Amino acid sequence: MQHFTTTIPTMKELEEWMFRKMQGLFTAAMRTALEKLDEIILEQRDRERYRVKAERETSMNTVFGNIRFKRRLYMDRQTGKYVYLLDQHLRFEGRGKVSPHLLETAIAFAAEGPSYRDSARRLEQLLGYPVLSHEAIREKLIEQAEKPVKAVEKRKARVLFVEVDGLYTKLQRRKRHGMEHAIAVVHEGWEQVGKRVRLTNKQHYLHRSEGDFWEGFGDFLTEQYAIDEDTWLVVGGDGASWIGECESYFHKCIYMLDRFHVARDLKRFVGHLPKIWKDARQALARQEPAALMAAVESVAIEEIAPDKRDEWTAYKSFLRRHRKHLEDYRKTLEANGIDTTGMRPMGSAEAQMRVLAKRTKRGGYSWSERGSRAMLTTVMRSKQAGWLEEADEHKVETPERVFSVRKILKDAIRPAKGCVDGMIRLLRSQWQSRPTGLALKGLKGY
């Protein structure tokens, strides 16, 4: 090794150098591909409707760096508006300055947390240049969250399972210190994935309006599912009065008390009584309300801590009122001729809330009402397929000409020949208007 006279870079230096080179190749190839696609659209457009107005240059940040390219502006004779047909065909807003893939990456980083600033730092570290500020990422996330998503085909389901809960977030610069978001998770059952169990076709609903939660949720259901008077809803909740109102809104609805909350409260009161706590826990697991109430009623008031006795009395009354809501819902479904094979006890509401609370409560952040709703919507959509697909606002005909992306890219990344091909490469880039480019142009003729 001591005989080597060549300085060999480290693996890190080599990797960084190769990545920067690949960024340069990508930007050149992408620019060529976009401009050639624009030419194809020019040839295949409806000439009677679209008239070329101008050719304008724009720039766009991507995961491989900034790209500058030209595209044509057309006047639509039918509407009298000016449009970029390339943007419409690519389903991309060219004035946004950020590529869809980079935007999705930035929003995904922000949704994972812990903050918008951290998302901006991670993007800069990954790509090697400052892409978006933390405030720009926040604005993009809110903008995307407030856009309508792509319509889905309504699904048919005989039984739908609904886990409902509220999530409290702190508010900034408001008279109210915080607000509670009413959230529902809808799924069609459970499926085994390896050693884990996953909810089937999970959908989220975040109540936004000031109106009644269940009315808004009913509208959401009719948009997502082909439901009728024979559809059963199995609703799980923590016993809050607004959740229990579901039974008065839907024809066939079974309300179940969430076992996680019941177990948590019982342990707080009788956790110091091993036998009572064991009997209550086992009865709750078997979904036997009679055995559970027997264990609860057997507790003497003297066995409860003095500072908790009033709460214990109120909680026993609460369990008595909700005794039927501790029954196994599968018995009711079976009595109505529904096969319950594969159905499991309800109780995933708290796990779903933990996923949402992880981003909105971690770090002690406070939110604006709009910002908190946007973040919750983004986290919910990220758990569903096609989460960043928007509703189609502009539908245009696809050009009939078949083109080869491979050929376009081959032309874009061909080896540079310097000034042999009659043009200095620098004068074909954005650097042509910089001092060096202007100086080279000034030498023309010498």
Q: Of 117, 146, 175, which residue constitutes the final position of a domain?
A: 146
Q: Of 118, 146, 174, which residue constitutes the final position of a domain?
A: 146
Q: What is the distance between the alpha carbons of residues 221 and 162, in angstroms, rounded to a whole number?
A: 11
Q: C-alpha dihedral over 17, 18, 21, 22, to 10 degrees?
A: -150
Within a domain: residue 70? Answer: yes
Identify whether residues 51 and 79 lie together within a single domain.
Answer: yes
Within a domain: residue 5? Answer: no
pLDDT, position 159: 93
Mean pLDDT of 331-351: 87
Residue 6 has pLDDT above 70, yes or no: no
Identify whether residues 171 and 291 lie together within a single domain.
Answer: yes
Mean pLDDT of 68-73: 91
Please report which confidence band the pLDDT of residue 428 belongs to, taking 50, 70 and 90 as the band edges.
low
Residue 50 has pLDDT above 90, yes or no: yes
Closest by CA position to 373, among listed 389, 353, 349, 356 = 356
Q: What is the distance between the alpha carbons of residues 319 and 314, in angstroms, rounded to a whole number?
A: 9
Within a domain: residue 60? Answer: yes
Identify whether residues 189 and 294 lie together within a single domain.
Answer: yes
Mean pLDDT of 113-120: 88
pLDDT, position 391: 47
Q: What is the distance between the alpha carbons of residues 70 and 68, in angstroms, rounded to a whole number?
A: 7
Within a domain: residue 405? Answer: no
pLDDT, position 365: 75
Within a domain: residue 407? Answer: no
The model's pTM: 0.75
pLDDT, position 323: 92
pLDDT tens for each residue of 260-316: 889 999 999 999 999 999 999 999 999 999 999 999 999 999 999 999 999 999 999
Identify whether residues 95 and 35 lie together within a single domain.
Answer: yes
Mean pLDDT of 323-332: 92
Within a domain: residue 413? Answer: no
Helix (H) or strand (E) holding 71: strand 65-76
Identify whether residues 127 and 26 lie together within a single domain.
Answer: yes
Share of the chain above pLDDT 70, in %: 83
pLDDT tens for each residue of 386-424: 444 554 444 555 555 555 666 655 655 554 444 444 555
Q: What is the distance between the alpha carbons of residues 219 and 32, in angstroms, rounded to a whole number?
A: 47
Into how many domains does the chain fold? 3
Identify whether residues 345 and 432 lie together within a single domain.
Answer: no
pLDDT, position 328: 92
Question: Is residue 112 a contact partner of residue 102, using CB atoms and an 8 Å limit?
Answer: no
Within a domain: residue 96? Answer: yes
DSSP β-ladder status, 178-187 and 190-193: unpaired
Identify whether residues 234 and 112 lie together within a single domain.
Answer: no
pLDDT, position 442: 65
DSSP β-ladder status, 159-170 and 232-237: parallel
Identify whether residues 117 and 163 lie together within a single domain.
Answer: no
pLDDT, position 414: 52
Q: Of 146, 180, 210, which residue constitutes the final position of a domain?
A: 146
For 84-93, 275-284, 427-436, which range has the lowest pLDDT when averaged over its residues?
427-436
Within a domain: residue 36? Answer: yes
Identify whether residues 126 and 244 lie together within a single domain.
Answer: no
pLDDT, position 419: 41
Residue 340 has pLDDT above 50, yes or no: yes
Identify whether residues 242 and 288 lie together within a single domain.
Answer: yes
Identify whether residues 135 and 163 lie together within a single domain.
Answer: no
Closest by CA position to 96, among listed 55, 54, 143, 49 = 143
Question: Is residue 368 a contact partner of residue 179, using CB atoms and an 8 Å limit?
Answer: no
Identify whether residues 217 and 295 lie together within a single domain.
Answer: yes
* ∠ Cα 313 296 267 (to 5°): 85
Tokens describing residue 324: 């039927």
Mean pLDDT of 111-116: 86
Q: Which range of residues forms the domain containing residue 122?
A: 16-146
For 89-93, 149-153, 207-211, which range has the lowest pLDDT when averaged over its residues?
149-153
pLDDT, position 163: 92
